[in-house]
Chain A
Amino acid sequence: MTEENIIKGCIRGRSDCQRMLFDRYAGKLMSLCQRYARDYEEAQDFLQLGFIRIFEYLHQYRGEGSLEGWMRRLVARVAIREISKRKWHLDESSIPAAQQPVEDPAVWSKISEEEIHRLICKLPEGYRLVFNLHVIEGYSHEEIGELLSIQPSTSRSQLLKARRLLQSLISNQMNCVKV
Chain B
Amino acid sequence: MKHESFDEWMRQKAGAHEAPVPADAWEKIAGKKKKRRRFLIWWWIPLAAGIMVLGYGTWRYTGITRGDKQIATADKKNNDKQKAGTTGLQDKPTVTVKQQQAMLEKQPAQTSDNNHSERDIATAVPGEFAKGKTAGKKTIQKKVVNRIGSNKTNDPATIVKAPLKEITDATEKAQTALLPEDKRNNRDTVSIQKMPEERVGHDVATISAPEAAVVKEWTIDSVYLQPENLATAVAAKRRQTYFAELYVSPFLPFQQVTQNKVSRVQEMPLMKNEFVSSRIHSKPQMGWSGGINVGKQLNARWQLMTGVQYSTFSEKISMEGREVITHYNIVQRMVSQPGGPVLVNDTVESYEYGTRQIEALNRYQTWSIPLMAGYRLMDKRGVSLQLQGGVVVHIARRYQNNIVGEFNTDDAGKRSSAAVAQGLDLHAGMRLMLHPRSRLRVFAEPAIRYSIMPTQTSDMFERKRLHQLGLSLGLQYGF
Binding site for B on A (CB under 8 A): 15, 19, 22, 26-28, 30-31, 33-35, 38-39, 41-45, 47-48, 51-52, 55, 85-86, 101, 103, 105, 108, 111, 113-114, 116-117, 120, 135-136, 163, 166-167
B117-172 interface (Cβ within 8 A of A): none
Which partner residue on chain A sits nearest B9 by CB separation? A108
Point out the residue from B6, B16, B18, B263 that lies within 8 Å of A30, measured CB to CB: B18
Min CB distance A54 to B, Å, is 10
Interface: B26 (CB within 8 A): yes
- Determine the main DSSP class of A at the interface with B: helix
* Chain B residues, Cβ within 8 Å of A113: 13-14, 16-17
Min CB distance B477 to A, Å, is 46
Which partner residue on chain B sits nearest A109 by CB separation? B9
A135 near B11: Cβ-Cβ < 8 Å: yes
* Chain B residues, Cβ within 8 Å of A52: 29, 32-33, 36
A39 near B28: Cβ-Cβ < 8 Å: no
Min CB distance B461 to A, Å, is 6
Min CB distance B2 to A, Å, is 10
Q: List 17 A-B contacts (CB under 8 A).
A: A22-B25, A27-B19, A27-B20, A28-B18, A30-B21, A31-B17, A44-B25, A44-B28, A48-B25, A48-B28, A85-B461, A113-B16, A113-B17, A120-B10, A135-B10, A136-B14, A136-B15
A28 near B17: Cβ-Cβ < 8 Å: yes
Min CB distance A28 to B, Å, is 5
Task: Tell which of B20, B26, B276, B461 has the most Cβ of chain A within 10 Å.
Answer: B26
A162 to B203, CA, bound (A): 102
Chain B residues bordering chain A, tally (CB within 8 A): 30
Interface: B194 (CB within 8 A): no
Interface: B22 (CB within 8 A): yes
Write out, one digit per residue, whether chain B residues 69-101 have a CB within 8 A of any chain A CB (1) or not (0): 000000000000000000000000000000000
A116 near B25: Cβ-Cβ < 8 Å: no
* Chain B residues, Cβ within 8 Å of A167: 1, 6
Point out the residue from A30, A38, A48, A166 that lies within 8 Å of B19, measured CB to CB: A30
A90 to B14, CA, bound (A): 22
A143 to B261, CA, bound (A): 30
- Determine the main DSSP class of B at the interface with A: helix
* Chain B residues, Cβ within 8 Å of A45: 261
B2-55 interface (Cβ within 8 A of A): 3, 6-7, 9-11, 13-22, 25-26, 28-30, 32-33, 36
B10 near A39: Cβ-Cβ < 8 Å: no
A153 to B139, CA, bound (A): 79
A175 to B52, CA, bound (A): 72
B33 near A55: Cβ-Cβ < 8 Å: yes
Min CB distance B358 to A, Å, is 16
Min CB distance A169 to B, Å, is 12
Not counting A31-B14, A41-B276, A116-B13, a sample of 12 additional A-B residue pairs whose C-beta atoms are within 8 angstroms of each other reads: A39-B263, A41-B278, A42-B263, A51-B29, A101-B1, A111-B13, A114-B17, A116-B17, A117-B13, A117-B19, A136-B14, A167-B1
B1 near A103: Cβ-Cβ < 8 Å: yes
* Chain A residues, Cβ within 8 Å of B10: 116, 120, 135-136, 166
Min CB distance B381 to A, Å, is 56
A30 near B28: Cβ-Cβ < 8 Å: no
A27 to B21, CA, bound (A): 6
A117 near B276: Cβ-Cβ < 8 Å: no
* A34 touching B13 in the complex, CB below 8 Å, given contacts A22-B29, A39-B263, A48-B32: no
Point out the residue from A28, A33, A85, A163 that lies within 8 Å of B6, measured CB to CB: A163
